[in-house]
Every structure is written in structure tokens, then in C-alpha cells.
Amino acid sequence: MAESSCRVVITGLGAVTPIGNTVADYWTGLSQGTNGVAPITLFDASQHACRFAAEVKHFDPSGFLDPKEAKRWDRFSQFGVVAAKQALAHSGLEITDANRQRVGVIIGAGVGGLLTMETQAHVLNAKGPGRVSPFTVPMMIPNMASGLAAIALGAQGPSSAVATACAAGSNAIGDAFRLIQHGYADAMVCGGAEGAITPLGVAGFASAKALSFRNDDPATASRPFDAERDGFVIGEGAGILVLESLESAQARGAEILGEIVGYGMTCDAHHITSPIPGGIGGARAMALALQDGRLNPEDVDYVNAHGTSTQANDSNETAAIKTALGARAHHIAVSSTKSMTGHLLGGSGGIEAVACTLAIRHGLIPPTINYQNPDPACDLDVVPNRAREQTIDCALSNSFGFGGHNVCLAFRRFV
């Protein structure tokens, strides 16, 4: 095991999202400002206070998963494994007996197998304990996307799962970055997955007053930083990256898509759901990511904001960005791709890391759609409504979760 740190690069991407079930389709959706929000079809939501979500459309895992096996997996695990297989194929990394103990998997989930838990609870109540599926526990536990991906890929290196709510996907990527950086693995398959658009999931967030209730116009419900925002839109899907040590990637002649250089995480230690006033915890996470990456505020060209479309998050994140980046904050593009994808909870950090990598690679900043009414408390350049061509050498990605978890990842163009 190496004691000194090494450079960590991105060699593969995978995405299953409300605006595209491949990386190419996802990027097209982001570039075009595609709205992924619509009335709920996964269950009858007619009695719910919120009746819309950002569902994954036309999801067919049959090209990646054995249909019989897939029936024994919760929806979030299916998303995670499909995205992981996409990412590994994209990377060109072959996992063999010679290297499998040096390749690991970390996939975060904020909720995990809620659909399974909810379905089997109904079975228990209606039919008794003897009718509960023997796959209930393996299907619902939040580490199973990581476990199933490792099994599917044959990866025997470090494997874990992160459950830091909406920061889980970013924590998973950051933890994988550290494992490679300090020599515990040569490559990691990492990111986040979620499939919590269920009756209980939607009702629970609605009761907490966290969701938008714009049922008359769901397409404009996710409106981060807009003065008339009224809550987030729940989404689902997965985003996965393949990270490698620079030495490993170069040795096999891999195409390098970008580099991760910084990882900061903090805790507000303030409230179970609300961020600490002024975004102090988020600002510290950003400052730590910059420090870790040996970056200055002047180096940052783009921030992919957590940007949930809730009153408290967006104003506090704006304050956090100002604190961390100082005068530079007003000269940086800050957009929320959740305006298009909704909020994938633990999956958000994964798809947003994919978005940052592609934004750097293509020189295009995804927009914040549905932005109509400026909010004086959110007075940054939010790239309203249309994508913007711009050279990006460095991007930050913010993820903040219930419980006060704050994560910032720093990405750079590979040179």
C-alpha cells in the first residue's frame, strides 16, 4: 500500500436519470434544458398532496441485468448496477483475476430499498409473516446497490455504502477518491442511487413540507433560486463514476475524462433537516475542498449547486458560496441541474458529478431552468434557462443532506 497520495482521474461515466438513461442522453437533456418532471405514474397519487415527480422513464434493465435476478432487486439497486455497468464499459477497464482485489465499489443511497420495505409491509399486514419474501432484507438494505454492483462486476477491493441522506452520492465519490489517493485501491466504481418515489416516500416528504405542491404546473415546480420556489421535486436514478489512479489509467492507455482534486465534508450539528443559518457548514466544506485541491477561489469557473428549490437551502447555499469564494462568487456560474432532474436524494451527487465532468469536457454549463423571478437572497449568476458555452477548468459540486451533512467535490480539467 502506497503511503504518498497520487492523482485520481475519471475514466468512466454511467447515468440513469429522469432526462435520459444513458450518459449521452442525460447530457443532451442537460444541454437542452429538458424538464424531467411530470405527474406520477409509478403509483396512484390522486390522494397525495404532491402528485408529481421526476421519474426515470422507459427504464429497461434487460440489456444489463438477468430478468430473473432483477426481480429480486429493489429499484434503487437496479438503477445503481445498470449505471455501474455503463460506467465500467465506458472506462474500458477489464476486471480480471489479476486486478479484481484492487478494484472496489462504493454507492451511496439516502433511503435505499423503500419500495421493497413498503411492499413487504403491506404483505405482512394483509397476509401474515409467513408470506413475507425471503429477499426482503437483502432487497431493502441500503448497501445492496454496492454489493450487487461488486458481484456483477467481480470487484473484490474496498466496498462500502454511504447513507448520508442527500450527500450520500458525493460522499461515496469522495471516499473512493481517498481510497485511491492513499493506495488502498487502483480503481473504484462509485456514486449514488435512489428509487424512493413510493407512496410512503412522497407522503413523508410532503408531510415535512419539503416538497413543491405545484400540482397545476409540475413542469415548473423545480425552480431553484427563484423567488417563488416552494419545495423540491423528488427524483430517482443513479450516477456512477469510475475513478482510477493516474498510474493505472495511463498504464492501460485509458481515455481520461477529468480529475478529482478535492474533497471537503463537514457537519452543521444544528438540526435534523434545516441547514445552519448562513450556510456556515456548507461554506466550510467548500473551503476544505479548495484547500485539499490546492485551489484558490479564482481557479473556480463553475459551481454545480445543491440547489434543491427549497426556501432554506437555496438562500443558505448562496450565503455559503459567498463565504467560501468571497468576491469571486459573483463572477462564477452557479447552476442547479435539479431544476431538470428533480432531487435524486442520495443519487444526486452521482449524477451531478457526471454533469460536472461533462461540463468541463464540453465547455458547456447546464442551465437552471424555470428561473423567472429573481430572489435578492439568491443573487448569484444562476445561468438562467439556457445552457452557456464557456471554458471550464475547475468545477465544484455541492451536496447537503438531512442531519447536517455537507460535501463538496472539486473537479479539474486533466492536463
Verify whether residue 343 is a known catalytic residue: yes
Sequence spans of domains, the chain: 8-251, 263-412
Catalytic residue among 50, 90, 166, 405: 166
326-358 pLDDT tens trace = 999 999 999 999 999 999 999 999 999 999 999
Q: Spelled out in words, what is the top-level CATH class assigned to the domain 8-251? A: alpha beta
On whether the CB atoms of residues 188 and 157 are closer than 8 A, the answer is: yes
Strand 302-304 and strand 333-335: pairing? parallel
> Quick one: which of 52, 27, 34 has its CA closest to 42?
52
pLDDT of residue 4: 55
78/22 Cα distance (integer angstroms): 14
> Quick one: which of 80, 307, 24, 71 has its CA closest to 193?
80
Catalytic residue among 50, 90, 190, 306: 306
Give the three-state DSSP class for 40. coil
> Quick one: which of 285, 280, 276 has its CA closest to 303?
285
DSSP H helices in 190-232: 199-207
358-394 pLDDT tens trace = 999 999 999 999 999 999 999 999 999 999 999 999 9
pLDDT of residue 191: 98
Strand 187-194 and strand 103-108: pairing? parallel
* 144-153 helix and 75-91 helix, angle to the nearest 10 degrees: 40
> Quick one: which of 112, 231, 237 has its CA closest to 165?
112
The model carries a pTM of 0.97
Q: Which residues of the chain have pLDDT under 50?
A: 1-3
> Quick one: which of 189, 111, 177, 193 has its CA closest to 150?
189
Domain 263-412 has CATH 3.40.47.10: yes
Phi, then psi, of 321 in degrees rounded to 5: -65, -40
pLDDT of residue 165: 97
Verify whether residue 378 is a known catalytic residue: no
Catalytic residue among 343, 356, 378, 405: 343
